Amino acid sequence: MNDSYAAKTKSAFFWTHLLNTPFWAIYHMLPFILYKDLNATALQIYLLIALRPVVSIFSLYWSSVVHRRRDRLKWNVIWAGILGHLPFFFVLWIDNPWYFVGSAALYMLTVRGVIPAWMEILKLNIPGCSRHKIFAYASSLSYIGSALFPFFFGWLMDDISHAWRWIFIATALLSLSASLLQLRIPIEASPDEGGEKISSIREWLGRPWRSAWEIMSSRIDFSRFQVGFMLGGFGLMVIQPVLPAFFTDTLFLSYKELGMALTLCKGVGYAATSPIWARWMNQWNIYRFISIVTLMAAAFPLFLLAACEHGLWLYIAYLSYGIMQGGSEMGWKMSGPLFAKNADSSPFSSVNVLMVGVRGAIAPALGEIVGISFGVFPVMILGFVFCMIATVYMTMCSRRLTAQSFAGVE
């Protein structure tokens, strides 16, 4: 691989993460902004949370245009950044919560949609032995920034009415400045450039789903990974709808306290352990790696319930969540290149994104129904159970793989 290609790609990847950090921090406070400042209804809060993963289904179409099309990788990333941030430049004049629900969904669609393009760019330009480390360090630096900004944002938002509107505009501009570096990413042309020809809209709509089905049915090892990751992600998603009201009406948290828990503690946990996760990913098989991730995820809802007795548990919960997320992000995003090996990784990464949408269409709805019917405690326990099932399943897959290796079976 060309050293110049690697250096330019590394620089663009690092700065894209860092410059997007302030926007990412304020974006994750949006459910609480809608609840406290815009008097959003329970339905609007639910849809804001539910649509974040659900739109991953539609992001499959955004990412599908780069399958076997290296010439589109860079522009796929750049245009996604522009479209995703554009609605937030108009927040000064809009008070309707539905606008923010839609804007948040569009942004998440583009964030998910560019993952296959980014992972293929890293696979093409950066050697495999360095890829995990570069991902870990870029993500860690981003999370360190995410840990600092909420203090400043929380102070402004508690003391200055509607300060969050200006924060969205300023941070969106900063995030978009990374496009200048993305333009410099070198992509070497492929001899089989061109991909499949599309003859109709029906074929265009069906092709990503057909590609996903072919991969899942032909690669049992990848399908097993998807089942385990699906169960663990389901456990975390099912508790999300009850959190805004739980934090506001049960724990009575201010913006500053929310910022410290949601971003500072989570960011510290993520940044401090990402290099360790990178080392473990190089040493362990993917199933064992994910089993540790889902085991830590299972502890999160239990720690949140403990926060009802003592506030310290809230910060412990998000510190552990950050540690878990460091492994989860790495396993999820790097699994595409890992399973693809020498083939195009974007179809594998697209399946990862698709499965986020599938579980996002089910898990938050289930959490909302259980929360309304029975309260917060059963929802938290439900999340714990799904994460533990995922841990057991991934452990079994790891043992099966180890047994096959000893037996000389591929």
Spell out a b/e string for 291-314, using b for 16 or more CB atoms within 10 Å of the CB, else e: bbbbbbbbbbbebbbebeeeeebb
| Domain-embedded: residue 153 | yes
| Domain-embedded: residue 281 | yes
Dmax (CA) of the chain: 66
Question: Are 316 and 305 a contacting pair, CB within 8 Å?
Answer: no
| Domain-embedded: residue 198 | no
Question: Are 100 and 218 a contacting pair, CB within 8 Å?
Answer: no
Reported as a single tens digit per residue, the pLDDT across 44-78 is 877 887 777 777 777 777 766 666 667 677 888 88
pLDDT of residue 232: 93
Reported as a single tens digit per residue, the pLDDT across 14-45 is 888 888 888 988 887 787 788 777 777 777 87
Among 63, 66, 163, 153, CA closest to 115 = 63
- CATH number (domain holding residue 76): 1.20.1250.20
pLDDT of residue 359: 84
| Domain-embedded: residue 225 | yes
Identity of the residue numbered 239: I
Among 376, 226, 383, CA closest to 308 = 376
Task: Give residue 146's Cα distance to chain centre.
Answer: 14
Q: How far apart are CA 109 and CA 56, in angstroms?
A: 6
Question: Residue 388 sits in which domain range?
Answer: 3-185+205-407
384 in helix, strand or coil?
A: helix
Q: How far apart are CA 48 and CA 28, in angstroms?
A: 11
Calculate the alpha carbon distances from 113 to 85, 106, 198 in Å. 14, 10, 20
Q: 185: which residues sit within 8 A by CB, 6+ positions away?
A: 8, 9, 12, 73, 74, 121, 125
| Domain-embedded: residue 197 | no
Q: How many other CB atoms are found less than 10 A from the CB of residue 43? A: 11
Q: How many other CB atoms are found less than 10 A from the CB of residue 252? A: 9
Q: What is the DSSP string of 244-265?
A: HHIIIIIS---HHHHHIIIIII
Calculate the alpha carbon distances from 3 to 133, 365, 372 in Å. 16, 48, 56
| Domain-embedded: residue 194 | no
| Domain-embedded: residue 190 | no
If one counts the domains in the chain, the total is 1
Q: What is the DSSP string of 280-338?
A: HHHHS-HHHHHHHHHHHHHHHHHHHHHTTT-THHHHHHHHHHHHHHHHHHHHHHHHHHH
pLDDT of residue 217: 85
| Domain-embedded: residue 191 | no
Q: What is the DSSP string of 9-77?
A: HHHHHHHHHHHHHHHHHHHTTHHHHHHHTS---HHHHHHHHHHHHHTHHHHHHHHHTTTT-GGGHHHHH
Is the full-model pTM beyond 0.85?
Answer: no
Which residues of the chain, if any, have pLDDT below 70? Answer: 1-3, 63-69, 71, 128-129, 146-147, 189-200, 203-204, 254-263, 403-410
Identity of the residue numbered 154: G
pLDDT of residue 410: 45
